[in-house]
């Protein structure tokens, strides 16, 4: 590659389709279908698969019965299956269902934090400090999201310092991995570069992940930029699930197929098998009655 | 940006929507509509707009009456309006219509050359040597495409040496600018890096352009990679025109809106106004009765 530039030899892909993807789809799948989807993704070789969320089914019907999903999936050794928990009650339900990994969800923008989880950033960090302490006490592994890390739909540009500060605090309360989210898909390489420089001053790369959306077609370029900075953990979603279903082809999460295509063509190992991933994506797209939002998957399926 | 890496301060975007884009759409627009589209693109600030092709209207009805387009457009000083010419007859028609710039079209893969233009690579270069000599004699500026520069639909991977060799020969016969085409959209950053290293040994960056397709969502990452190597001329198509219209959202050419979004957010000048570009794209999408294949444009239009 480019002279004097080092790229990672191996990248860990965190497959977020069964949670972040499905949660943003209009059709709610049964826990049985979600279980099968996760098992197909495990078979494809992902080493981390976001499995669901313990949130109110009245508010988020797509994530109902996550406990049943957790009990039914065929756990592969060495694979993490984090579930989103908003509070101590969610943690309790997760533990009762056999969860070994959880995820918590903070924001870098004050307005987004208040509108999305009804807490100030400070309140949310205090809440998560307790949840994470309990989780770590129970031997669980903890992932923490920082949403609106580039732009907030209410406030616009979010300062790099605000993002680093929230990420740093999540690290200090014990989160094992911190995923930096480009919630509305406005990140570009220059901003990724600047933010990563700042984040790496407070969090080592083995605890840092990026969660890009492909809303403006920038996700692959952003991943490349982050890799040039030494980042090697990235979130993506099978078939690009999670896009706005009302705009045909509009993108949500970076599609796992697109990410995998770039990495495998660059000789970067992921452990993921594209054919088995395609099988998982075909399965879920059929259940959702929607076309793929992954350009690579569209190219594969149109053959 | 990344330490010790230099990015260009200014990028020249070659807008190929009116030719490469429209030629691959199922609906053939009238020469009047194509003229208006080009005038809207001129107003948006592009410094190069591919205006049409002098090819058989029985084979390519989308490009019929290109002579009328050339005569009717409002030429802006400093803007190039190249038209594709396959041979001496095409050149004659172009000159008669007032063309000041032409483009010729070679391939790096033997099978593609024979199936696409019915000549071996050697025959095509001999043909273009005459066409380019005549064009230069008439004071015209010449662009040359090298298609299938990464993969060929018939042969698979095309060797870097084959691409460099064809590009080098096109340079020697007098082409002012050589556009390297990722015809089936399979390029990835590692391959772009390798090919660019090879190309820059035979052609200086001010004569080298990349023409990426976004079939697998890699176009922005490929542009970024090429810029890191010092390339600063890129082709793109308003609204992402030229994608397969039968797969909703499937991408053809890199969309000008997506390219512009990345560059402007990185502080790289292009001279193009996104609002005026959106106006041009809205106009042509309405005429084609199709949705945008540009993710950035979808994001803008969904607001």
- pLDDT tens across B168-186, in order? 999 999 999 999 999 989 9
Of A4, A215, A225, the CB nearest to B295: A215
Is A214 within 8 Å of A258 (Cβ atoms)?
yes
The Cα of A122 is separated from the nearest Cα of chain B by a number of Å equal to 31
What is the pLDDT at residue A4?
A: 47
Q: Average pLDDT in the B123-140 region?
A: 97
Is B76 in CB contact (< 8 Å) with chain A? no
What is the pLDDT at residue B258?
A: 94
pTM (2 d.p.): 0.87
What is the pLDDT at residue A203?
A: 97
Cβ distance of A250 and B219 shorter than 8 Å: no
Best B190, B215, B217, B293 member to test A by mutation, with max A CBs in 10 Å, is B217
Q: Is the pLDDT of residue B270 over 80?
A: yes
Are β-strands B156-157 and B151-152 bridged in parallel, bridged antiparallel, or unpaired?
A: antiparallel
What is the pLDDT at residue B177?
A: 98
What is the pLDDT at residue A243?
A: 62
Q: Is the pLDDT of residue B1 over 50?
A: no
The Cα of B267 is separated from the nearest Cα of chain A by a number of Å equal to 8
Cβ distance of B228 and A302 shorter than 8 Å: no
Chain B residues close to A221, C-beta within 8 Å: 220-221, 223-224, 262
Phi and psi at B235, nearest 5°, equal -90, 145
Q: Average pLDDT in the B288-299 region?
A: 87
Q: How many Cβ atoms from other residues are within 10 Å of residue A294's Cβ?
A: 35
Q: Is the pLDDT of residue B249 over 60?
A: no
What is the pLDDT at residue B5?
A: 61
Cβ distance of A249 and B224 shorter than 8 Å: no
Which residues of B are identified as catalytic? 244
Which residues of A are identified as catalytic? 244
Chain A residues close to B217, C-beta within 8 Å: 214, 217, 219-220, 255, 258, 261, 294-296
Q: What is the pLDDT along chain A (303 residues), one digit of tens a residue?
A: 454 467 899 999 999 999 999 998 989 999 999 999 999 999 999 999 999 999 999 999 999 999 999 999 999 999 999 999 999 999 999 999 999 999 999 999 999 999 988 999 999 999 999 999 999 999 999 999 999 999 999 999 999 999 999 999 999 999 999 999 999 899 999 999 999 999 999 999 999 999 999 988 899 999 999 999 999 999 999 999 986 444 444 568 999 999 999 999 999 999 999 999 999 999 999 999 988 888 889 888 887
What is the pLDDT at residue A267?
A: 92
* Rounded alpha-carbon distances, angstroms, from residue A223 to A37, A192, B218: 25, 9, 11
pLDDT tier at B262 (50, 70, 90 boundaries)? very high
Is B250 in CB contact (< 8 Å) with chain A? yes
Residue A55's nearest CA partner among A19, A18, A6, A81 is: A19
Work out the widest C-alpha separation in chain B, in whole angstroms.
54
Cβ distance of B265 and A191 shorter than 8 Å: yes
Is B156 in CB contact (< 8 Å) with chain A? no
Is B152 in CB contact (< 8 Å) with chain A? no
What is the pLDDT at residue A246?
A: 45
Query: Nearest residue of B to residue A295 by CA position?
Result: B216
Cβ distance of A217 and B291 shorter than 8 Å: no
What is the pLDDT at residue B23?
A: 93
The full DSSP string for A3-36 is TT----SB-EEEE-IIIIIHHTSSSPPPHHHHHH
What is the pLDDT at residue B224?
A: 96
| Alpha helix (H) residue ranges in chain A | 22-23, 31-44, 66-72, 88-96, 110-117, 121-137, 160-172, 189-199, 219-228, 256-265, 274-288, 295-301
Is B303 in CB contact (< 8 Å) with chain A? no
Question: Which residue is it, tokens 């294949």?
Answer: B293
List Cβ<8 Å contacts ≥24 apart for B128-131.
Answer: B128/B104, B128/B170, B128/B173, B129/B173, B130/B88, B131/B85, B131/B87, B131/B88, B131/B90, B131/B91, B131/B102, B131/B104
Are β-strands B156-157 and A208-211 bridged in parallel, bridged antiparallel, or unpaired?
A: unpaired
What is the pLDDT at residue B245?
A: 43
Per-residue pLDDT of B201-214, as tens digits, reads 999 999 999 999 99
Per-residue pLDDT of B87-122, as tens digits, reads 999 999 999 999 999 999 999 999 999 998 899 999
DSSP structure class, residue B207: G
Chain B residues close to A213, C-beta within 8 Å: none
Cβ distance of A249 and B214 shorter than 8 Å: no
């Amino acid at each position: 590659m480019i002279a004097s530039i080092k790229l990672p030899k191996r990248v860990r892909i965190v497959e977020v389709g069964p949670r972040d993807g499905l949660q943003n789809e209009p059709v709610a799948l049964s826990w049985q279908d979600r279980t099968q989807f996760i098992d197909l993704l495990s078979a494809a070789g992902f080493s981390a698969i976001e499995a669901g969320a313990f949130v109110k089914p009245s508010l988020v019907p797509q994530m109902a019965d996550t406990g049943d999903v957790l009990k039914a999936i065929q756990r592969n050794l060495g694979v993490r299956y984090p579930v989103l928990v908003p509070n101590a009650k969610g943690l309790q339900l997760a533990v009762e269902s056999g969860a070994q990994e959880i995820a918590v969800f903070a924001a870098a923008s004050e307005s987004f934090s208040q509108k999305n989880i009804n807490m100030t950033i400070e309140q949310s960090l205090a809440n998560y400090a307790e949840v994470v302490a309990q989780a770590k006490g129970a031997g669980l592994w903890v992932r923490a999201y920082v949403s609106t890390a580039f732009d907030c739909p209410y406030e616009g540009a979010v300062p790099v310092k605000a993002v680093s500060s929230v990420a740093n605090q999540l690290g200090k309360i014990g989160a094992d991995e911190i995923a930096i989210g480009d919630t509305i898909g406005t990140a570009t390489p220059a901003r990724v570069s600047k933010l990563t420089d700042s984040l790496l001053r407070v969090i080592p790369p083995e605890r840092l992940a990026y969660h890009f959306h492909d809303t403006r077609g920038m996700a692959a370029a952003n991943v490349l930029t982050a890799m040039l900075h030494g980042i090697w953990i990235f979130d993506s979603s099978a078939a690009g699930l999670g896009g706005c279903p009302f705009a045909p082809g509009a993108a949500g999460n970076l599609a796992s197929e697109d990410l995998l295509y770039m990495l495998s063509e660059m000789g970067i190992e992921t452990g993921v098998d594209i054919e088995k991933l395609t099988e998982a994506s075909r399965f879920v797209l059929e259940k959702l009655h929607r076309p793929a939002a992954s350009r690579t998957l569209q190219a594969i399926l149109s053959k």
